[in-house]
Chain A
């Protein structure tokens, strides 16, 4: 029986030149996150062992990510301690000239335990991204070791990490920013609180 099935399947593709493959609608499933959340590496907001997970691949200069930023806050407020939120970098370097340095800025703050503070600051001050002194001023305000902070950025210490985030995103089917994953499955709905809450809670 098994043999027959295999034979039939292997023959199927070569029937006619323009036979519909039908794959695109019949078996469409949103892509899955192939890089699992790793508390030792990822930036996680909320309980690292929370039951619900929202992962964002984002770019600090992308206006759509800027628009999604308050939506994520709403989701976190609504769902509360059952949710962990993970942010990974997906800088679109060929359209956003400041995206990489912004990602490096957040990572450099993260190395000193202030990732989320800087992450929030960058999204709240997207228009100032071209002026590094703004982020530096905030780093001072946060009490960071600014010498180390500046060195980490100028020497591109987190370049590999950012690239790893990016490629992990590509392999998970990130096709633009922001891309969200709800409990490991790409969220193809709008990047709005209501839609994200709905899909987060639907699967629990």
Chain B
């Protein structure tokens, strides 16, 4: 009896997923982000014209990676301004936040200053999108990073990941929940 229900539910899920699937095949393919349980590939990207930030520098503490499409989105609070305000909460978990997009470093500097961002904003500029691709967070067709979030544990293992639908600002709740889960054993 239960099996029947499970199968029916599965069929429902699949058909729902099919209906919602939009875009070309390559776009769908690009929306596959690095899964939970995997080790995040190391990277080293510029945070200022003469400074690089490497992921492995943050071993021993949780890291939040926020890939986002572009600097200067025309809204009051974009995702990153919100994170700047929620930063004290992230810090309670000793977590570091790294924001990444393909914009160049000068754009990043001006953007970070304007929005008073209090975390490194990294430039995945040359070769363009190389790191975003490694995380499955690159949109080939438009040449921007996807709005993808990753929470890594102190060993650099992905413990939570999330890809937002286009135009949806994911907020900070998912990150906070994921950070809370990190502290619980055997999850």
Contact = CB atoms under 8 A, between A and B. Distances in A.
A31 B36 contact: no
B95 to A, nearest CB: 15
A17 B2 CA distance: 31
Given A22-B17, A24-B163, A94 B84 contact: yes
Contacts of A171: 173, 176
Given A20-B31, A170-B173, A175 B77 contact: yes
Interface string A164-182: 0011001111111100000
A18 B32 contact: yes
Chain A interface secondary structure, helix, strand, loop or mixed?
loop
A174 B161 CA distance: 19
Given A1-B2, A92-B85, A94-B84, A170 B162 contact: no
Interface residues of A, number: 38
Given A92-B77, A92-B85, A167-B89, A17 B38 contact: yes
Contacts of A24: 31, 162-165
Interface of A: 1, 5, 13-26, 28, 31, 59, 62-64, 92-96, 166-167, 170-177, 188
10 contacts: A1-B2, A14-B35, A17-B34, A18-B34, A24-B165, A25-B17, A31-B173, A170-B173, A170-B176, A173-B171
Interface of B: 2-3, 6, 13, 16-17, 20-21, 28, 31-38, 75-79, 81-82, 84-86, 89, 115-116, 136, 161-165, 168-173, 176
